[in-house]
Chain A
């Protein structure tokens, strides 16, 4: 499943009201590690299709959401379950670390 582009307009529907957990990748175009972590996030989106929704939030364009969730460092990946932040990962980390965190929550 492809990643969803998240904005203020679809945040509530896609993240807060989602039936399945959502991994949100807070990123920006000028952030090198964000660009480099993107292929890993894409792999996860494919491997967990149906069990996990994966969304991308550009902190430049959607600064309101970034501020609401206290984002001060990117990449930050937040896992939402039933509309709440269940866990978060700050910085670029190895893939197996993502998988560990996800396995605990899914």
Chain B
């Protein structure tokens, strides 16, 4: 039996892995998609302490991963389809059908980027529709692109794109941005960025590749067409809690509710990172959650077994 199974390999899961394995727990980390989570999409992380010059999301995660491996965290690329609680014997079911028995579980499955859900989005994914400016920006050198969204991610990525493309339109459904002020100021001062407020994307158009967007004014409902070669979508995230919702208590937005020990409503099952009901979702808070969850799992094991 494992001491702890960690579900998710982003900053929260990897930090939990480092603390659990270093603490001597037999630790399995399951990541059904890619190690690193959302942060690997970031060109630069400016606010993670210890890296005054900034560090790319990918480099940061490669360091997290190396550190987890060093302490003996076992990694599986199978996703988790469900978790079960039979008091002292819990289990997780993997996508390949196997069932892993464990004393504790740390749910760190994060959140996934929302889709716009408009016509053309799916059809043109990989053909001008992108969710990762760092990955795909280079294919739009000297072209015109749109970024949809008004949060930190949207503005950070729009700023990154200005290094490569001719022009960036930022399309936001409200009349002001939600991003922090330092990012807003940088974007306002950038000559390559033009804001289109109070508009939503009704349709992504093109033939073989994207060639334009149909925009709707949220007030007048007037439709206009904007010619662009690509569109980068940053319209928030949704927690990946579908597979635990029958067992674990969630808040009204679907995030997992925990106490200050990161314990959920089920004894011995903990949650950490973006999946948790929390006021701030950053690499540093995810890593912090992971450390607390692992330490709490260890204490739980010491008390119960």
Q: Once the chains are docked, how many angstroms separate the CA of A95 from the CA of B77?
A: 7
Is the beta-carbon distance between B134 and A31 smaller than 8 angstroms?
yes
Q: Once the chains are docked, how many angstroms separate the CA of A51 from the CA of B289?
A: 44
Which listed residue, A32, A72, A76, A93, touches B61 by the CB 8 Å rule? A32
Residues of B within 8 A of A30 (CB): 56, 134-135, 138
Residues of A within 8 A of B125 (CB): 73, 90-91
Q: Is B79 an interface residue, CB under 8 A from the partner? A: yes
Q: Is A22 an interface residue, CB under 8 A from the partner? A: no
Residues of A within 8 A of B140 (CB): 72
What distance in Å separates the Cβ of B136 from its nearest Cβ neighbour in chain A? 5
Identify whether the interface residues of B are mostly helix, strand, loop, or mixed.
Answer: loop
Is the beta-carbon distance between A73 and B130 smaller than 8 angstroms?
yes
Is the beta-carbon distance between A32 and B126 smaller than 8 angstroms?
no
Is the beta-carbon distance between B209 and A32 smaller than 8 angstroms?
no
Q: Once the chains are docked, how many angstroms separate the CA of A70 from the CA of B124?
A: 12
With A96-B95, A96-B96 as given contacts, are A33 and B135 in contact (CB-CB < 8 Å)? yes
Residue of B32, B96, B127, B135 most packed against chain A (CB within 10 A): B135
Which listed residue, B33, B129, B135, touches A32 by the CB 8 Å rule? B135
Which listed residue, B41, B56, B127, B209, touches A33 by the CB 8 Å rule? B41
Q: Is A94 an interface residue, CB under 8 A from the partner? A: yes
With A32-B56, A92-B33 as given contacts, are A39 and B40 in contact (CB-CB < 8 Å)? no
Q: Is A20 an interface residue, CB under 8 A from the partner? A: no
User: Of residues 57 to 84 in A, which have CB atoms within 8 Å of B's CB atoms?
Assistant: 59-60, 66, 70-76
Is the beta-carbon distance between B95 and A94 smaller than 8 angstroms?
yes
Is the beta-carbon distance between A32 and B32 smaller than 8 angstroms?
no
What distance in Å separates the Cβ of A56 from its nearest Cβ neighbour in chain B? 16
Q: Is A36 an interface residue, CB under 8 A from the partner? A: yes
Residues of A within 8 A of B129 (CB): 73
Is the beta-carbon distance between A70 and B58 smaller than 8 angstroms?
no
Q: Is B208 an interface residue, CB under 8 A from the partner? A: yes
Q: Is A35 an interface residue, CB under 8 A from the partner? A: yes
Name which residue of chain B comes closest to A39, CB basis: B77
With A28-B138, A32-B56, A95-B78 as given contacts, are A37 and B34 in contact (CB-CB < 8 Å)? yes
Q: Once the chains are docked, how many angstroms separate the CA of A28 from the CA of B139?
A: 11
What distance in Å separates the Cβ of B114 from its nearest Cβ neighbour in chain A? 15
Q: Is A102 an interface residue, CB under 8 A from the partner? A: no
Residues of B within 8 A of A70 (CB): 127, 208-209
Residues of A within 8 A of B88 (CB): none
Q: Is B62 an interface residue, CB under 8 A from the partner? A: yes
Residues of A within 8 A of B138 (CB): 28, 30, 59-60
With A32-B56, A32-B61, A43-B77 as given contacts, are A91 and B32 in contact (CB-CB < 8 Å)? no
Is the beta-carbon distance between A72 and B209 smaller than 8 angstroms?
yes
Q: Is A34 an interface residue, CB under 8 A from the partner? A: yes
Is the beta-carbon distance between A74 and B33 smaller than 8 angstroms?
no
Extra contacts besides A33-B40, A70-B208 (10): CB < 8 Å: A30-B56, A32-B134, A33-B36, A59-B138, A66-B139, A72-B126, A72-B130, A73-B125, A73-B136, A74-B135
Give 25 pairs: A residue, B residue, CB < 8 Å, sorted on A. A30-B56, A30-B134, A30-B138, A32-B41, A32-B42, A32-B132, A32-B135, A33-B34, A33-B40, A33-B132, A35-B58, A36-B58, A37-B34, A60-B138, A66-B139, A71-B126, A72-B140, A73-B132, A74-B135, A74-B136, A75-B135, A94-B77, A94-B79, A95-B78, A96-B96
Interface residues of B (CB under 8 A from A): 32-36, 40-42, 56-58, 61-62, 77-79, 95-96, 125-132, 134-136, 138-140, 208-209, 230
